[in-house]
Structure 1
């Protein structure tokens, strides 16, 4: 019992001594404070600086870190895709060459500006060769696209059903690309000379295409650049 009473007396004296160091402190003279108030004051200031630094500096860095982590999955997916391309690079190059050859073949089916007259003559001869009568053959205005030009031709022919069908097949088999649109087939007027009432009349729009020459390509680029500078879309037709 005497030991416990002695320990209580010692603890009380310790607490009393510590509390006495906080009495009558002059806030204007912190350098004259006892050791314990100094240590607790510096500890509180250090803790306040850590908390303040967290909110002012580390919180922004934490936000940046979270943003970079969110990009990690997208970067991994992009890496896997590029890795697959790298593994299949040889096959992709072969496919690229095949596509280029196919495009070259298609370009060969597009006549140049100098060949358009010959193509129009081929269309006309295809109809005459089948015994058809041309009532209308009128080329329209050229429509310039990004990489090619389109020429619509309004045609009206009359003749027998099978001859008109053969004419359409001949158009499809031309070495150059020609397509028929807006077909309208009806009975033709009776031929006054032969009395033939089996004739049909076909109205259609034949569209043929040609590639743009270098001057036209450069003109298209200049128009697009000019339109982009003005903030307006470039016109697609002439």
Structure 2
């Protein structure tokens, strides 16, 4: 009965309470006990619920971050496992790479060895019969791991001798590369070569970047050259043609060596000869040509005229028809039909 009457009292107080008084908490002292208790419970519940939600959100965000970190660490662990499994292979590859690297370093001359390399190139060219017009050291070019030394070379000589010189420079123990070369014809037998060669001077690297073992090995054997590791090319003349020499067709040796005993009309250019007469016979026509001196010559089919081995094919009312050997822009000989007309003599 007491509990029932207590509950009835609380319900009555809540029912009779003017809830608009909540807007004025200053008068909370006069509120019924049931109302004060209800307000306290409501506020307490709200605070607990808000704190719980805020804490729960922080925990959820932290959980998401930890899950992401876990995935990243798992992926990194897989990579590390793969690297550990391949560690021996990596070490073997590093040794294989280090060997040619060391070999190339030993082929780079030091600054004090550049003059000796220049002497070696000069001696090589002289041994092939080349004439050195000049050999000059250009300004050095700094590179990250070495110093590039350009060398301007000007030589003259035969085509095959220049080819052998290129082959000899490529076979030197030191690394020398050749760039920007030009050839100029001085005569039928002599060419002028201008060449930009480059050698590469060794610049010692800090041990922190190369490792103490590598740096020590290079210092101990800086000039120890090794041969046979690169493909070698030896220039052999053999049947190689000289592209600067005139090309002669089979059976044609050129006007300077046409036949023993040139006839007098072969020393004159065709425009210097005048066709002054024509004699007609059953066995063939005969032309009368006057040379610059005024002498008149008889010309028949098969005779030679002019400096280009011009051979008479026929003599007609139009003039003297002949075939000459002419050279084109490549120096090759080719036959060309030419007419010496009557207009030259009239």
Same fold by TM-score, threshold 0.5 exceeded? yes
Distance, in Å, in 2 between the alignment partners of 1:209 and 1:159 is 27
Matched, 1:136 2:127: no
Tell me which moved more, 161-170 or 20-29.
20-29
Shift in alpha-carbon separation, 1:32–1:175, aligned structure 2, 3 A: same
Superposition TM-score, scaled by structure 2 size: 0.49
Shift in alpha-carbon separation, 1:47–1:153, aligned structure 2, 3 A: same
Distance, in Å, in 1 between the alignment partners of 2:156 and 2:16 is 121
Distance, in Å, in 2 between the alignment partners of 1:18 and 1:31 is 12
1:182 to 170, 180, 192: 180
Alignment of 1:158-173 (within 5 A): 158-173=156-171
Matched, 1:85 2:76: no
Tell me which moved more, 115-124 or 42-51.
42-51
Distance, in Å, in 2 between the alignment partners of 1:180 and 1:131 is 20
2:202 to 199, 211, 224: 211
Paired residues of 1:110 and 1:209 also in contact (CA < 8 A):
yes
Give the structure with the higher percent helix.
1
Paired residues of 2:14 and 2:35 also in contact (CA < 8 A):
no
Distance, in Å, in 2 between the alignment partners of 1:74 and 1:131 is 70
Distance, in Å, in 2 between the alignment partners of 1:93 and 1:213 is 24
Aligned match of 2:189: 198
Tell me which moved more, 155-164 or 62-71.
62-71
Alignment of 1:1-238 (within 5 A): 16-17=11-12, 19-20=14-15, 22-23=17-18, 27-28=25-26, 29=28, 33-35=32-34, 37-48=36-47, 50-51=49-50, 54=53, 63=61, 66-67=64-65, 69-187=67-185, 189-190=186-187, 197-213=188-204
Tell me which moved more, 39-48 or 61-70.
61-70
Distance, in Å, in 2 between the alignment partners of 1:81 and 1:30 is 70
Task: Give structure 2 stretches of 5+ with no counterpart.
Answer: 1-7, 208-346
Q: SS at the partner of 2:121? A: helix
Paired residues of 2:13 and 2:34 also in contact (CA < 8 A):
no
Distance, in Å, in 2 between the alignment partners of 1:31 and 1:98 is 95
CA RMSD across the alignment: 3.5
Pair member with larger Rg:
2
Offset from partner CA, 1:104-153 (integer Å, 9 cap, x none): 11111111122111111111112111111112211111222222111000
Aligned match of 2:223: none
Superposition TM-score, scaled by structure 1 size: 0.68
Aligned residues: 198
Q: SS at the partner of 2:154? A: strand
Task: Give structure 1 stretches of 5+ with no counterpart.
Answer: 1-12, 191-196, 219-238
